[in-house]
Each structure stands twice: as structure tokens, then as C-alpha cells.
Structure 1
């Protein structure tokens, strides 16, 4: 495939193409933002399995594990290669760059491209772990998927982002124009079937299947820890999120943590969730009101807003004992303290109540939010020459030996 200029064309908050160089530079920048911990040379490298390693918090968890603690491991993600008409997905290029970070750090990583919900991908992953490492120390589960095919029934379940019980009117950002605009929308309540489908996709069932598969293959090392990423969020977004279909799925995820914790006691293992803070991701941007809330939060906090990488670095420091793990209710790690502090929520609430179409650009950091959206695809990344042509057809990274 011939090198070409790649521009950020798209519809709304979704772009059609991704920039290979920009995605690579983004990962390099993330690498440079993580300081290496003082490691005990007598201890072996931790072995980590990350489900959902190519984007968002899963990507941040992978990079932080490699850079800060020299982890070896396996990343599983579902990405599309380049075609004649389209570039590869951003996650494809980010995975290539992450593999390079691992190789330069002396870490042994393999990245598997496939549907993490599928039995064949689980088997491929577990076969690889058995062959290369003999077991794992950590499993990080970070998937935000629109659909899932149940491996037992073969039925495909579709997740929805809707309130439960009653419909909901909310302020939100409209991305159809050149700049985001404020509007008000009505969101229909989910049916019982839609709620059940969302739990099947976004709940803890697949997480438990991964842990059960690892147990059945005797691939969990002593002291094994598994952690799933979750979100609670503000009272401002609760009707559409925590009290909605996605929230019901997150509650199921947390209930699964309790079940897994008991199951891992004989192995001296543990299971937990980590409640992360607000961030700009492809998944979160699709949720009505979340983009506006996140922009208002950034408008107040500015540089004090914590990135996913900073939060995932804190997560690893707690998991490894570098910091006090400080679990809530014995199984939930809170990384969202910086977002949900009462004084911060008070100020963001004032902005939410005061925001109008005329003042939204003053109260919300729309410029930052738009740039973050573009960076998801490798655009608006400092240090990249977007006038230069680049090759979009890049191969999936080979395993590190």
C-alpha cells in the first residue's frame, strides 16, 4: 500500500481513518510519562494478562505495567487492519507502538487480535500463557463493547445506553457541526430485555469465564489478582449511567468480583474492581450527557484532571504494594477520588446548571475535549508532521522473545 496523507475526516465524534504516526507518538508520549519504580532485582517480572489492551484504560494499564514494573504478558484486543479504502483502526497502530515500548523495555509481550468473548480466543491466549510463562500474576479486564455473542447459546446480545424505569431529559453535546454545540435530548427508557442484554455484554459474565478458564488450566500463580475496570460517576450523569443500563451492568461486574474473590481464596488470590474517573474514550463519548459533563469537569479542573495513564499508574502502585491498596468494602479500589470530591462536584454542578448554548464555550473546555477526541485516532498529537505522507498498511506486531 502506498504512503499517503491522512486527514481527520468523519461524522460527529467518529472519524473514518486513524493516523499511524500520531497513534505511535501518542503511545511514546504515554511511555515517557511513566516513571520506573525501584524494583527488587531478586524478584521475577510480574506476568500480566490485559483484556482490552488497545484503548482507554486497558491501554494505559498495559503501558504502566510495562514501564513502571517491567511486566511481561499478553494483551488481547479486537482491531481491524488497513484496507484499500480505510486505514487500520487506531488500536491497531497503538498496539504496534505498545509492542515496541515492551521490546525496548526488555519485556516479553504478545498481542492477540481477536474477539475476547470467543472461546477460541480464550484458548489461544491460555495456550500462549502456558507455553511462554506457565501462569500469570494479574488479569486486568477492561472491555467496553457494543455487542457480545454468548459462547454457550450462540446468541448475540446488543448493549444499549438508556435509563431504567423512566425516560430522561438531559443536556448533551452535539458533534454534528464544526464545533460541539449544546442541546437537550430525550432518552427513552430501556426495556427489560435491553437491560438484560446490556448486562450480558458489559457485566461480569465474561470476566468470570476468563478466570474459570485460567483456573481450569492451572495458570494462576500464587497470590494472583484480577481486577475489572468500572465507573460510578457524578450525580449529574447518574440517571443515564449509574442508574441506567450501563450502571446495571457495572453493578453485575461488582457482584462478580465478590463471587470471584471467594473462588480465589484457596489459591490465596483476590478479585476486585477499580472505579476509575471520567475520561474521553470512544465508549464514553457515545453516552448522552457524558461528553458535556467531562468538558465541564475539565473546564473547572484544567490540568488537575487526571489522565487514564496517571490513574492506572496509581492502580499498579496499589496492587503491587508500592502504595496502600486501600480497598472500599474489601473489594473495590477507588481511583476517582479526584473527580468525586464534594467541593469539585459542587463547582461542576454549578456549571452544569448554568450552562447554555451561549456560554458553553466559557464553562466547558470544548477545545480540549475536541482535541482529545481527535487524539483517540492519532490526530492533534504534538510533535507529528501531519503534512507528511505515511504508510497505513502496517503489520501486527510479532511476539517478543
Structure 2
């Protein structure tokens, strides 16, 4: 495919095309920010949802700090000629180049990780190339999931429970951020069940069972699933809403897995990992989360707001025993202490109480948030020449 000139195409808060060089540059920047340290063993890791957010950060930190071997799985769209490939496709290609340059043995699979076929294919690859898995990282974020047993397609929703949700929100669909109002009607029992089916722990448990059935759980196997708690400011639409119900199911699944014979006989462990706030394609779509994140960034500044890469490096060091596990009373690994510090949250609440005035004070944080959203798709990345035609037909990394 010949190089072509492309420009960002935005619809509301979504950007529907991606820039390959800009996306690659964000991966390189994250890679360079992670301190290299690959002494000691090189564990086998299976990372589900490796192409964005905390999944990408966990992949890069695992490679850079611990020399992980294994497989990354994501479900990304290729270039069609009419539309570019997804940003995650381009990020995967960039991550594969960095891994190859560093001599890392890792493969990337483009597949629907919810499907039985994907589980079978990836188990085949593990048997052929890697052997038993030391770490399974579950970081899937998707709007729908097909139940492999029934064929039912479940759709997740972002809704409060019990009562309608009304709150200020950040409108970043134009050139300048502004305050809007969000109102969301409460979710139904059926919508809650569907959201749990997509974002809860059912598929995570199926992955562990699928690996166990093929003899692919290593001794002292550890699996983690990424989750979020967040502030009381956003709790009505997040932790106390349909998504919160799914997260509670995910956390119960961790306890069930830890207590299961599958893990006990291998001295295995299962944790949910509570990460801090981040700008992701999923979080930017949740009403009020954008405004909260902009306020949080303003309060913490450049040095206090921890990046996904910093948190992922911290997670790997805890999992590998280089630093102690930071567990809460529910047995969850906590990476979000910097966000939920009492003084930080007090200041966020002050801004939230008068959002129009708060946005005036938090304009740096709002501008930063808007830049971060653009960068999710490879746009607005420093050092990228957007005036130059670019090859959009980047191939997916080979698995061999």
C-alpha cells in the first residue's frame, strides 16, 4: 500500500482513525521511560489485552525490567484502505520491533480473547514455543462479549444503579474544553447482568481453566486482573454502578481462583490489581471521569500523577518479589495510593464543588487530558511530522 496523507477524524469524544508513526512514538516513549533491568529469571507471561492502557504498560514493563517471554493477545482492526488500522494495531507493531531489537522472545496474536478458538490457538503456541505460564495478566476491555457456552452476545453499559446520575462532565469534543452536564438513567437488572458477563471474572476464570487443562500452569503460577476503585466523586457512575458490579465480580473471582484446587496444588495466586486513574479509550468514554481526571492531574502535577508505565513497573517488582506486595484488607494489590491520598482528594472535591470555576483553575489538567486522548490514536505526539504522507498498511508481527 502506498503512503498517504491522513488527518485526524473526530466524532464526539472518539477519533476514528490513527496515525502509525505517532502511535509508534508513544510506545517508544513509554519504553524509554521504564528503567531497564533484566537480571534473574525470564518468566513466561500471557498478557490478554496488551495493546493499550495498563495492558500495554504491563507488557513493556515486563519486557524491559524482567525479560518476560510469552504471548500478547489483542483484538485490533487492520488498515482497510478506507480507514487506517486501529491505534492498538500500530502500537503492537512498534512493541514487536522494540522486543525484537532487545532479543526478547514474545509473540503477538490478533484474536477475540473471549472465544474458545483463541484459547485453543494460544495454548498451542504456548506448548510449542514457551511452556507453562508463570503469569497470566488479564487486562481486557471490550463493549461486548459472546458467551462461548450459549452464544449469547452480552453488551456492557455504563450506568448508575438505583437512581439517575447527574453530574458535571468535561466536553472535549471541540477545540477547547468546557463543562457540560451528564444525566444517565439507572441500569436495569438485565443490563447489570450483561455488564458483569462482559467485564466480570467469567472469562478470566475460563482462561485459567483452559491453561490448566493443557498442563500450562507453572508451579507458583500467578494471575492478575486489572481493576479500578477511584474516588467517591465518581463512585455513583463507576464503583457503585454497573461497572462496579462487574468489578466486584472480578474481585470475587480472584478469591475463588485462589481457593480453587487448580491453584492450590501449584501454590498459585490470583489477585485483582487496583490501578490509579489513567486516560484510556475506555475511561474517556465514561461521563465525569474525564473531568475528574483533569482535576486530579491539576492537583498532582507532572511529578505526582503516576503514569501507567510507572505503576506497571511497580506491579512487576511486587509480583517478582523485588518489593513487598501492597495488599488491602480485601487482598487486592494496590497501586493507587497516590490518587486516593486524603489531601489530594480533598482538593479534587473543592474543584468539583464548583466545576466551572474549577475548570478555570484546572485548565492545564484539561488541556493535558485532551492531548492524552489525541495521543491514544497517535495524534498530537511531539516529534511526529503529520504533514508527510505515511504508510498505513503496517503488517501485524509474525508469530513465528
In structure 2, how many angstroms separate the alpha carbons of the residues matched to 1:265 and 1:37? 31
The reply on whether 1:338 has 2:338 as its aligned counterpart is yes
Q: What secondary structure sits across from 1:80 in the alignment?
A: coil
Identify which range, 361-370 or 198-207, moves more after superposition: 361-370
In structure 2, how many angstroms separate the alpha carbons of the residues matched to 1:376 and 1:177? 17
In structure 1, how many angstroms separate the alpha carbons of the residues matched to 2:62 and 2:183? 41
**Inter-CA distance 240–94: structure 2 relative to 1 (3 Å threshold):** same
Q: Where do 1:341-380 residues align within 5 Å?
A: 341-356=341-356, 360-364=359-363, 365-380=365-380
Q: Calculate the aligned-residue CA RMSD, in Å.
A: 1.2
Normalization by structure 2: what TM-score? Answer: 0.97
Q: Stretches of 4+ moved more than 3 A in 1?
A: none
The answer to whether the 8 A contact 1:117-1:148 is kept is yes
Match of 2:138 among 138, 141, 166: 141
Q: Where do 1:33-182 residues align within 5 Å?
A: 33-37=33-37, 39-40=39-40, 43=41, 45-182=42-179
The reply on whether 1:197 has 2:194 as its aligned counterpart is yes
In structure 2, how many angstroms separate the alpha carbons of the residues matched to 1:388 and 1:136? 43
1:159-216 deviation per Cα after TM superposition (whole angstroms, max 9, x unaligned)? 0000011111111112333222201121100000000000000000000000010111
Identify which range, 178-187 or 253-262, moves more after superposition: 178-187
In structure 2, how many angstroms separate the alpha carbons of the residues matched to 1:4 and 1:112? 27
In structure 1, how many angstroms separate the alpha carbons of the residues matched to 2:86 and 2:94? 13
Tell me how far 1:38 sits from its aligned partner: 5.7
Residue 291 of structure 1 is matched in structure 2 by 290
Structure 1 gaps, min length 5: none
In structure 2, how many angstroms separate the alpha carbons of the residues matched to 1:128 and 1:138? 16
Residue 318 of structure 2 is matched in structure 1 by 318
The answer to whether the 8 A contact 2:352-2:358 is kept is no
The reply on whether 1:390 has 2:380 as its aligned counterpart is no
Q: What secondary structure sits across from 1:282 in the alignment?
A: coil
Tell me how far 1:330 sits from its aligned partner: 6.4
Structure 2 gaps, min length 5: none
The answer to whether the 8 A contact 2:171-2:179 is kept is yes
Normalization by structure 1: what TM-score? Answer: 0.97
